[in-house]
Structure 1
């Protein structure tokens, strides 16, 4: 009987841990600090913001160190948190927060569009990368059906959908910040509003954006099946 039981965490366990870690350190803990500890009897407005920002910054840096490589999205997230902290601690008008919140997804949307004119399409890197898709098999199937160029055009259409999801997020980010951040910067009420904005950003912004991203995925996989004559599952790499 073989008693050698591997203690290596499964890929699914790692993904769940990463999701829960992101949720806890980037959303739950900062929101709890800003909404419950920003009063003068506790941390106060300024220190509550500092403490709340330590968690997403620390988690982002830890994740970068753990992965051993620079992730553009992680870096962008850390920069975004630093900007939020700087704007808040300097007591700049809430308009700056709204502009910053809108600028981050807008930059990503522009990057997706620009990448279509390079050899490194972001849709290919993010959705159709080599870890997900068996490109040699897909390329061969497309070539056999003389649909290689047509599939490239479908990727372009999918890129427009992905870019649109980022632009939608940009608009929603701006509106959410303008609606919620109405108190004087540097006050307890402002810190609590910042926490409320962070908490609401996921259901209000992420859900519509994810729907559009899933639409882009569904479109690509449908076209993959139509242009190759094979089910798209046959081109997915198996988990190691």
Structure 2
């Protein structure tokens, strides 16, 4: 298992590439190339959605990011294509747009009743923080119970960000995508919705997630007495030292 993991390349966040491939390129294709003089409705939809679909599959296979949210993202793009190609009522697009973050939010809530809450996987994990060191300090100070309560509260906040996304996705889809699916107007509206969703939904959601991480960090700081540098994951600490 360790040999297999050693062959998996490190996944380095590339927000500008993600933005270009998942938002900008598909939006331009859908909005500008859906006319009969260019790609046409069907090919514009297929090629436009191929970029985020292909990028998502590439990351799943290349970096073994086989997690629930990554898989759900790929399925979501596939469903969008299905709605357009099969000319299903555009109202189902709004339902789909709301359903995906709603499912994730429900999964976050349900996971709080299990041994493996999703907030631990996504925010409180060894790739970001030295979890073993934090847990040892919490045991020494007798604060494990209080920390678990705070972690559960962070899970509720985290689920709330997905509820916000679900509501905004539905409103945005119903507001922008009003034409029948399978038409040039539908493609153009889908591209416009994809483009608008980033500043209206993705950025506010990102800000809320940063606030949740800050809340979690402040809890760790108060209960353990460690600074952020002291509880960073060892590999991040080494990189910080190398830059000095």
Fold equivalence (TM over 0.5): yes
- CA contact 2:69–2:104 (8 Å) conserved in 1: no
Q: Which residue of structure 2 lines up, in the alignment, with residue 174 of structure 1?
A: 170
Q: Pick from 34, 39, 55: which aligns with 2:30?
A: 34
Aligned residues: 228
- 1:45 aligned residue: 41
2:122 to 126, 146, 149: 126
Once the 2 structures are TM-superposed, how far is the Cα of residue 144 of structure 1 from its aligned partner?
2.0
Once the two structures are superposed, the pairs formed by residues 48-197 of structure 1 within 5 Å of their partners are 48-68=44-64, 70-197=66-193
Superposed CA offset, 1:173-219 (max 9, x none) = 00000000112222211110000000011110112211221121111
Q: 100-109 vs 222-231, which deviates more?
A: 222-231
Identify the match of residue 15 of structure 1 among 12, 26, 33: 12
Shift of 1:69: 5.0
Give the Cα separation in 1 of the matches to 2:64 and 2:154: 30
**In structure 2, how many angstroms separate the alpha carbons of the residues matched to 1:42 and 1:69?**
36
Q: Please, which runs of 5 or more residues in structure 2 have no aligned partner?
A: 1-8, 239-244
How far apart are the structure 2 equivalents of 1:184 and 1:144? 62
Unmatched segments (≥5 aa) in structure 1: 1-9
Residues 99-140 of structure 1 deviation map (CA, whole Å, 9 limit, x = unaligned): 000000000100111111111111111111112221221112
Higher mean displacement: 163-172 or 37-46? 37-46
Q: Say if 2:205 is the partner of 1:215.
A: no
2:201 maps to 1:201? no
Corresponding residue of 2:4: none
Shift of 1:15: 2.6
- Distance, in Å, in 2 between the alignment partners of 1:87 and 1:185 is 7
Take 1:58 and 1:121, find their aligned partners in 2: how far apart are those partners?
29
**Stretches (4+) displaced over 6 A:** none
Is the contact made by 2:30 and 2:190 (CA closer than 8 Å) also made in structure 1?
yes
Inter-partner Cα distance in structure 2 for 1:160 and 1:69 = 24
Structure 2 Cα separation of the partners of residues 92 and 59 of structure 1? 25
Tell me which of 229, 233, 237 is aligned to 1:233.
229
Q: Cα deviations across residues 62-108 of structure 1 (Å, max 9, x unaligned)?
A: 21221135232221111101100001111111110000000000001
Q: TM-score, normalised by structure 2?
A: 0.88
Question: Take 1:177 and 1:83, find their aligned partners in 2: how far apart are those partners?
Answer: 14
